Chain A
Amino acid sequence: MENQEIIAKVNDLLIDEFELEEEQLVPAANLKETLEIDSLDYVDLVVIIERNFGFKVKGEDFANIKTLHDFYEYIIKHAKSN
């Protein structure tokens, strides 16, 4: 998958599964404070990532993912190396 494809897929998942609005999905958006993704949501993110991108997220990795941009970069890095 190309980077843009991955970003598009992540956005689709956030819209469909997390019921976020497209206009909320700006790269600078803070996952916790702006997108209101809480600790329980992270559990579901792990499931969704594994199902759609084929790799397992390590819990400690989330500590370094603050914004949507960080999240895109993380998925791109791990999806491509998979």
Chain B
Amino acid sequence: MKTKRSRARISVAVLVIFAIVAVFTVRLIDIQIVQADELNAQSLSKRSQESVVYGRRGDIVDADGAVLASSVDRYDINVSPRIALARQDVNGSASEALAKIAEVTGQDPAVLLAELMADPDADWANISKGVTLEVFQAVKTLDIPWVYYDVRPSRTYPNGAVGGNLTGFLGTDGPGGGLELSEDTCLASTKGTVTYEKAEDGTGLPGSLVTTKAAQDGGTLRLTINRDLQFYVQQRMAQTYADLGAEWTTAVVMRISDGHLMAVADYPSVDPNNVDGVPNTALGSRAFSWAYEPGSTMKALAAASLLDSGVATQTSTVTAPGQLFLSDGGFIKDSFAHDDMPWTLTGAIVNSSNTGMSLFSKLLSAQTRYDYMIKFGLNSETEVGFIGESEGVVHPADEWDERTNFAVQFGQGMSVTSVQLASIYQTLGNGGVRMPVTLVEGCEMPDGTVTDLPPTDGTQVISDAAATQTVEMLEKVVTEGGASRDLTIPGYRVAAKSGTAEVADSSGGYGDSAVISFAGLAPADNPQYAVVVTAGIPNSMYSSGSIATTFHDVMAQTLTTFRVTPSTEAAPDIPLTW
């Protein structure tokens, strides 16, 4: 009997023990496995602090690596009003401490105090935004316990307005126009996060830093622009703007061999460090976004079309009247009054004869001439794809009326951008091969890979011979034309064409405004660089001659900057009359 009872007791005890063990096991599994993640997270959140680390937005550099846009750190100074007002710290009262900060930051102590008192119970109030490292360090050495800091990634443009029309700027909400916006995928960095375990006072425990997500730096955007030339050209266009009392000026320098842009200047244009300093119209690049009726610079394209299709030669003849009457009673006239002139095609170009070119245009159908324009890159954005870039307008040939049919041959009734115009002259200088217009040489990522490489495939628009002969004719404009004295660059053979065009006003007619321009290339025997200078002027009292010196200076500076070898051969002699 005794043994039976003790066995029962033992069994009960064993069962109880098993039950307790089972309970513990279940609880253990619950805590260690089922709820593990949640509890870990809870525990970590009590011990640890997460903070954001910023990657560095990539620089924008010129072809030689000169920095046009760069990322810098600025610092926000924050305070905890609750602690500042609650405790009597070693530096005396809160307002005394604020006075010291104000002395360093150059702010008004009363303003800082107002910020502090705005919400006395808050733990955060910003008293100073975006201060430099020197100010930040000076405030830090004051050692005020209730002051803390945030890093604020910022952007600086060390060369100011040099290339500011191209780089765009970085506003508080992100990229504002230009390459900062269009190339954001290259430049942008990604934020990362780190966590660290904090001590009682909130400071991080050493060795507890864990990077939960690595920050990634942006890539370096390399442009085709040459900073020094860009500076010179901008300076020169600013001066032209003042000399002519212009509304705007633009200039484009393009390398002929590959269509790379060496300089794209606009005036007025923005200093990206001070975006508010210019009107909104000056924020982008007019050279890309402003399509205008180019006027006679388009005669080069018209002549090239005639030569390429074989219907005319440099010495084909025309009898150009002073006025060419249309069936509606209107007429086309030249810029100066003259009787019937026995000009060759070259002569018509040199004298910029609208009537002569109109008569020559009858040799080609409207559709053929339209097709040439399209092949030269008109009516579509260039390969650059600049923010706000204009396509220009060339209406389909079947929509041309009698006047437009002639006018498109001398650059009225259609519109182009300065960059498109430069591309036409690049094609003429490059043996008829149009190269893709390029502003970005590439995007160098931090790991060394290069993306965004520019396209290198050219298209043969006209024959080599037609292109060369067109350049030879344009050279006659410089040697024999009215602006010869201003255009000549001793030692170099220069080919250029002027353009003066009236600007259509809102009523549909032509108003007082005009666009004057010069487009050309040098050296004519071995073309290296194409230059287009343009000015929008408020009245048509100026002729294109007013901008000839600007063209000369920009071209001469380009030739000097890039150490272009002087011409060695003499220009061919082409008769202008017959």
A binds B: no
- Using CB atoms and an 8 Å cutoff, list the residues of chain B in contact with chain A: none
Which A residues fall within an 8 A CB radius of B?
none
